Amino acid sequence: MSSREQFLKTVNHQQPDRIVLDFGATAVTGIHVQTISKLRRHFGLQRKPIRVIEPFQMLGEVGWELIDSIGIDVIGAWGKNNMFGFHNHAPFKEWKTPWGQRVMVPLNFNTTVDDAGDLLMYPEGDTSVSPSAKMPKSGYFFDAIIRQEPVVEEELNVDDNLEEFGLISDAELEHWRVEVDKAYYSGKAVIAGFGGTALGDIALVPAMNLKAPKGIRDVAEWYMSTVMRPDYVKSIFERQVEIAIENLTRIFAVVGNKVNAMFVCGTDFGTQDSTFCSPEQFEEMWLPYYKRINDWIHENTQWKTFKHSCGAVEGFMDSFIRAGFDIINPVQINATGMDPVKLKQKYGRDLVFWGGGIDTQKMLPFGKPGEVREQVLRTCDVFSKDGGFVFNTVHNIQANVPVENVVAMLEAIQEFNGK
């Protein structure tokens, strides 16, 4: 069976011949550029600057040599622009990271250094305006810079929080046609994040792609607004969903069912041991809008819908199902209540668990290779029964993770698959 055939069995809750693997297909299942370089050395691949495929988190392009070496089954189709609003594809230039690694970045990847030695990034790569993100001097990825204008209650305008959500252009449609074709004809399963469907994703609220963002752009203010200004937030979601469905209609006319899964939204609802809101608030404020998007996708396409949410979200699983999501990621098994056995038994008939293969906060960076192996074998045994499991870590593999632990994880997957 091909990678795509194994994937389709998996997401349709049929037992595949082996566990399907994703490393690098999305912005929440990726690998830091530093770790990719170490993996290439481990597999004896040619040393070269790694392309930064997602600059906010400094995720690297896995590349076909490593895809083949690892046995990856899922390929991502990536958008024309990145989170900073500039073209994210060739031509590239070489850039030296603060930790000394040479990487390939888009031409408008323009940075400066402030008085504290921190690295500053700019919307659309325009250094003449205020920076929108900062990488601390000793850091390995960027954090958003909040550029919230003073909130004047009577002047709040829903349109200000919709500036980045417009109808798709012909150039973007052509980009998606080419990008999806490239992924589809690889024979791998294809996941795409077409954008515009992220309802209140905190990574996107600060609008790092806009030079002068208006509306509610402070993370804390946004969270407060879901309680203090619920009608304002719901008005944003209402219009955003209308635009999204129009765009998805146009996109589907171009890419059709060459896409197997769509990354719908990355809004986090969980912390390590609790949630950002109650299930009742989720049902009122988010579920109706998610359901409209998912219903359109299921009624008009064969795509599976992918929902990312970190944290202790076991109490939201029934709501995710009613909202129409097929796939949940990252399955944070180290968070309160996220026991793999319980999750699989209670929700495994309805939800595909994409991730959860190993804890990336403690085990992968700080465990011993033998401990890594044991956890991978245990989670695979639980999650893989009757399909419904795509192996990935709990969120992205970060920098400074011991390569021997990553290798132990990969070898444990092969061991479980009987290779």
Can you give the CATH number for the domain in which 349 is found? Answer: 3.20.20.210
419: pLDDT strictly greater than 80: no
Distance CA(388)–CA(326), nearest Å, equals 10
For residue 384, tell me if it sits in a domain. yes
pLDDT digits (tens, 9 = 90+) for 293-340: 999 999 999 999 999 999 999 999 999 999 999 999 999 999 999 999
**Predicted confidence (pLDDT) at residue 83 exceeds the cutoff of 70:** yes
- 204: helix, strand or coil: coil
Token digits of residue 399: 């920098």
Is position 261 within any domain? yes
How many structural domains are present in the chain?
1
394: its two tokens = 């709990």
How much of the chain exceeds pLDDT 70, in percent? Answer: 100
Per-residue pLDDT, averaged over 198-218, amounts to: 96
> Is the pLDDT at 236 greater than 70, yes or no?
yes
Count CB-CB contacts under 10 A for residue 195: 18
Which amino acid, one-letter code, is at 171? A
Query: What pTM was estimated for this model as a whole?
Result: 0.97
53 found inside a domain: no
Task: Please report whether residue 95 resides in a domain.
Answer: no
pLDDT single digits (tens) 337-353 = 999 999 999 999 999 99
Cα separation of 367 and 334, whole Å?
14
**Separation between Cα atoms, residue 389 and residue 35, nearest integer Å:** 24
The confidence score (pLDDT) of residue 77 equals 98
pLDDT band at 76 (very low <50, low <70, confident <90, very high): very high
Asked if omega into 98 is within 30° of 0 (cis), the reply is: no
Domain membership of residue 117 (yes or no) is: no
Query: Looking at residue 1, what is its pLDDT?
Result: 87
Express each pLDDT in 354-378 by its tens digit.
999 999 999 999 999 999 999 999 9
74, 24 in Cβ contact below 8 A? no
Residues 18-46, mean pLDDT to the nearest whole number: 98
- pLDDT tens sequence across 85-109: 999 999 999 999 999 999 999 999 9
Total Cβ atoms within 10 A of residue 384: 23
40-52 residue pLDDT tens: 999 999 999 999 9
Q: Which two tokens stand for residue 63?
A: 């590349």
Report the pLDDT averaged over residues 184-191: 98
Structural domain of 238: 3-47+61-83+151-417
277-286 tens-digit pLDDT: 999 999 999 9
Cα distances (Å, whole numbers) of residue 347 to 108, 241, 264, 268, 395: 44, 27, 20, 19, 20
Predicted local confidence at residue 119, as pLDDT: 98
Answer whether residue 54 is part of any domain. Answer: no
Q: Does some domain include residue 315?
A: yes
Interatomic CA distance for residues 159 and 6, integer angstroms: 43
Residue 276 lies in a domain: yes
* Alpha carbon distance 75, 186 (integer Å): 8
Residue 169, pLDDT score: 97
Give tens-digit pLDDT for 119-163: 999 999 999 999 999 999 999 999 999 999 999 999 999 999 999
